[in-house]
A = this chain, B = another copy of it.
Amino acid sequence: MKNRVITISREFGSGGRTIGKKVAEKLGIPCYDSELIQKIAEETGFNEKYIKEAGEYAPGGFLSTLTGRAYGPTNEDYLWKIQCKIIAGLAAKGPCVIVGRCADYILRDKADCLKVFIHADLAFRAERIVKEYGEREESPEQRLKDKDKRRAAYHRFYTNMKWGHAQNYDLTLNSGTLGIDKCVRIIQELY
């Protein structure tokens, strides 16, 4: 029998990671997020910052120019393969929550997934990222728009699915209007 896994895709700053951690805590199952990046780092030898960033660049962009897609698979393609293997391995070990990294797509025929997408409007997310990650030179709105664009392009490139399109998920939740705690409760109850 396939394991039951909760996959959480999320807009940057929407609190998807926090929601994933809280749900996992309540259900007493592991939550993989930055742990996932550590594992990929161990397996590939790339450093964590590079992996984090590569997960947001669709090949064909800036990184690819450097790594030379024209001459065959890029570093991102290599990372993607390892990522698929690691995520499939985690899902095979037992029930868990996996945040980001296209886990919903990777596990589509490997686990019994509850596929969740978390989003919120710009103002809510802008406030959260300043609180969480501090001020930067760029405005928080600009940072969000940039991140959203990258994640959508990455997702589209590897999964050929539209990011944030309701039809790709079992449920999508607006953490800005519903609040983080209500999102946690709904997911927990559905599991």
Contact = CB atoms under 8 A, between A and B. Distances in A.
A119 B177 contact: no
Contacts of A164: 165-167
Interface string A120-136: 01000000000000000
Contact of A174 (B170, B173, B174, B186): B170
A2 interface: no
A contact residues, range:
10 to 19
Instruction: Work out how many copies of this chain go into the complex.
Output: 2
Contacts of A172: 166, 169, 171-172
Interface of A: 117, 119, 121, 164-167, 169-174, 177-178, 182, 186, 189-190
26 contacts: A117-B166, A121-B167, A164-B165, A164-B166, A164-B167, A165-B165, A165-B166, A166-B166, A166-B169, A166-B172, A167-B174, A169-B172, A169-B174, A170-B173, A170-B174, A170-B178, A171-B172, A171-B173, A171-B174, A171-B178, A172-B172, A178-B190, A182-B190, A186-B186, A186-B189, A186-B190
